[in-house]
Structure 1
Amino acid sequence: MLIDPRHLQILTAIVDAGGLTEGAARLGKSQPSLSRSLALLEARIGAPLFEKGKRPLQPTALGRALAVEGRVIASASEAAGRTALSHSKGQAGILRVAGSPVFMDGVISQTIASFQAEFPDLRVDQSYGYLDALLNELSLDQIDIAICPVTTDQVPEGFSFRKLLPGRNVIACSSAHPLARKKSLILDDIAPYPWIAPPADSPLHADLRRVLDEIGISDIKVSFSGGSLTSILNVLEGSQAITILPHSVVFMQRHTKKLHPLSIRIKHPARDLGLLTRNGQQATPAVRRLEKHLIAQFSGLSHSIAQHERNALWRS
């Protein structure tokens, strides 16, 4: 037997309020309206739900049992309303975010953590990829936002790019490395040490080759290649290798006191780290909230990194 859930909610209101008038006031309806709904429910069930002739109204055993179910329905309806409201305000839901591995692990994950501390009911599904794969996932509506380093001419028609950070790279080593203790450095100082090469398909690997060409190093010893940011940091910490990393990643690791940027001036890539989205893709309130959070966080981070550059790095 199918029963209109609204009728059960009305029954619950009458039982809990203690009468038709009180139940109508609780629901914001008229008493005649509740009487008609109650009559329809009793006709549907084929049995009375209140003891006849008793005042105040007293529910029958069946009436009390059905009122329990009505409370469940009312509770579910209220929960659904709260969920819908949270989604409409961007306070709940699922965000699909993807980006370049080194930046996602070294920089973005910390800003996502601060975002979720403010909005704990928002779930973030994160994945990794480089530009071509990210563009494809955006086109197929598999992700909401891509966060990656690109040049302006790499953004195809139909997509939008919002800059977060200018491209800045540094040569880095562990804080225990002999080079970290030198007050001034020249290129000959780094020549004896092996290198960690970033993943071959990453923009950072191309940056390494270009930097080596620019500073006149044609032959290097590669002691480790590929791997995640965590593995690169672990190898740096346990060896005398050096590598190239985005300055933002090194800057975000400063609290660990394990990573040291070398004050050797190098040319920076023409890319910017930013938010890549597909035009025409309807952004949910949660996506807009995350975008706003990232832009605000990186505005402060960009200022701090620029200040650190002026005060500590690339001294001639």
Structure 2
Amino acid sequence: MKLDSEHLEILAMIVEKGGLTEGAEALGKSQPSVSRTMALLEDRIGAPLFEPGKRPLRPTELGENLARIGARIHAMNGEASRLVQNYRKGHAGRLRIAGTPIFMDGVVSTFIADFQTRQPEVQIAQSYGYLDQLTTNLRNGALDMAIVPLHPSMAPSDMTFIPLLPGRNVIACRAGHPLMRRGAITLADIEPYPWIAPPPDSPLYRDLQRALKSIGKEDFRVSFSGGTLASIISVLARSDSLTVLPYSVVFLSRRTAGLEALSLKIEHPDRQLGMLTYDDASPPPALRPFALFLQDEFRQLEARIQHEGQVTRRRG
């Protein structure tokens, strides 16, 4: 025997409120329609739901047990409705985000954690990749958003690129590095030290080559290469090696990882870190609040970086 779940919900409300009229008002229905529904349910099960002649209305044992089931159905329906509403508003769902490893681990993951503190029902699946792979995954629906360093004019014609942070690289080292005790640093000062190279297929590796070339150092000794940001930081912390990193990564890692930027100007990359999305995709609703959150967080980060630069110049 299959019972109409809505009929059981109505029964639950009548029992909870203590009468047909009260239950009908709580449901926004008329008393006659609720009464007819209960008559249909009694016919269906072949037994009374309420004890005859009792005022206030008193359910039979069967009626009370069915009402408990109806209350659970009502609660589950309410939960389902809230889930759908949260999904439509972007407060729930799953996002697939990918980007270049150094930026994802050094900057974006921190913002993802802050976003999920505010939106705990949004699940974020983070992965890594470089531009060619990321654009392929955006087009085939495997990704909702890529976060990549890119010159806006180089964005694919079928995609939207929203810049987040201007490109700015620095020579990074550990906080206690001997060069940090010097004032002005010259090319001769950095000559004795080995270098940590990012993965050779990364934009940052090309940045390293261009940056050192811009200050007249075309040959450099590599002591470690191809690691993750965590391994690069570990090697920096335990050696006098140098490397080139985005300043945003160094800025956010100073307290936790003890990184510092040398006061030696190098060539900055002609690109910006930004959000890349595929125009023909149907993104989950949570992508829009996530994108707005990222834009706000990066605006605050850029303002903090600029403020520190102004303070440093005034002190100098």
Q: 1 CA distance for matches of 2:285 and 2:19? A: 42
1:194 paired to 2:194: yes
| Paired letter, 1:76 | M
| Paired letter, 1:250 | V
Q: 2 CA distance for matches of 1:304 and 1:170? A: 17
Q: Give the TM-score normalised by structure 1.
A: 0.95
Bigger drift between 214-223 and 96-105 goes to 214-223
Residue 20 of structure 1 is matched in structure 2 by 20
**1:140-165, Cα deviation, whole Å (9 max, x unpaired):** 22221111101234311110000000
Residue 168 of structure 2 is matched in structure 1 by 168
Q: 1 CA distance for matches of 2:257 and 2:232? A: 15
Q: 2 CA distance for matches of 1:218 and 1:158? A: 38
| Paired letter, 2:23 | G
Secondary structure at the aligned position of 2:267 is classed as coil
1:207 paired to 2:214: no
Residue 54 of structure 2 is matched in structure 1 by 54
Q: 1 CA distance for matches of 2:285 and 2:205? A: 36
User: Contact conserved, 2:233 with 2:257, CA < 8 A, in 1?
Assistant: no
| Paired letter, 2:263 | S
Q: 2 CA distance for matches of 1:309 and 1:187? A: 23
Structure 1 residue 309: Cα displacement:
4.1
1:121 paired to 2:121: yes
Residue 275 of structure 2 is matched in structure 1 by 275
Residue 67 of structure 2 is matched in structure 1 by 67
User: Contact conserved, 2:250 with 2:260, CA < 8 A, in 1?
Assistant: yes
| Paired letter, 1:185 | I
Q: 1 CA distance for matches of 2:207 and 2:146? A: 21
Q: Give the TM-score normalised by structure 2.
A: 0.95
Residue 76 of structure 2 is matched in structure 1 by 76
Residue 300 of structure 2 is matched in structure 1 by 300
Q: How does 1:256-275 map to 2 (within 5 A)?
A: 256=256, 258-275=258-275
| Paired letter, 1:52 | P
Structure 1 residue 312: Cα displacement:
4.4
Structure 1 residue 311: Cα displacement:
5.1
**1:229-275, Cα deviation, whole Å (9 max, x unpaired):** 01000100000100000011001112237111011111111111001
Q: Percent identity?
A: 51
Residue 233 of structure 1 is matched in structure 2 by 233
Pair 1:193–1:77, CA change in 2 (3 A): same
Q: 2 CA distance for matches of 1:154 and 1:39? A: 70
Residue 147 of structure 1 is matched in structure 2 by 147
Q: How does 1:81-160 map to 2 (within 5 A)?
A: 81-160=81-160
Residue 253 of structure 1 is matched in structure 2 by 253
Bigger drift between 142-151 and 155-164 goes to 142-151
User: Contact conserved, 2:99 with 2:127, CA < 8 A, in 1?
Assistant: yes
Q: 2 CA distance for matches of 1:108 and 1:72? A: 41
Structure 1 residue 43: Cα displacement:
1.6
How many residue pairs end up in the alignment? 314
**1:199-248, Cα deviation, whole Å (9 max, x unpaired):** 11100001111122222223221110011101000100000100000011
Q: Which structure 1 residue ranges, 5 or more long, are not aligned?
A: none
Bigger drift between 228-237 and 9-18 goes to 9-18
Pair 1:22–1:311, CA change in 2 (3 A): closer
Q: 2 CA distance for matches of 1:304 and 1:58? A: 67
